Amino acid sequence: MKKTIFILASLFMTVATMTSCKTEAEKVDDSAEQVVDAQQDLDEAEADYEAQYNQFKLDSEEKITANEKLIADLKVYSKDKKNEAKVEYDNMINDLEAKNEAMKVKVRDYKNESSDKWESFKREFNHDMDELGASIKDIGKNNVK
DSSP sequence for 35-73? HHHHHHHHHHHHHHHHHHHHHHHHHHHHHHHHHHHHHHH
Across all residues in the chain, what is the average pLDDT? Answer: 79
Can you give 110-142 as a three-state secondary structure string? CCCCCHHHHHHHHHHHHHHHHHHHHHHHHHHHH
Which string of DSSP letters, residue by residue, matches 64-112? HHHHHHHHHHHHHHHTTS-HHHHHHHHHHHHHHHHHHHHHHHHHHS---
**In the predicted model, is pLDDT for residue 109 greater than 90?**
no
Torsion of CA 13, 15, 20, 21, to 10 degrees: 100
The answer to whether 132 and 125 are in contact (CB under 8 A) is no
Using the predicted structure, report yes or no on whether residue 69 has a pLDDT greater than 70. yes
pLDDT tens for each residue of 130-141: 999 899 888 867
pLDDT band at 142 (very low <50, low <70, confident <90, very high): low
pLDDT at 145 over 50: no
Task: Work out the percent of the chain whose per-residue pLDDT is above 70.
Answer: 72
- Total domains in the fold of the chain: 1
137: containing domain: 2-144
pLDDT of 34 higher than 50? yes
Tell which wins on pLDDT, 20 or 104: 104
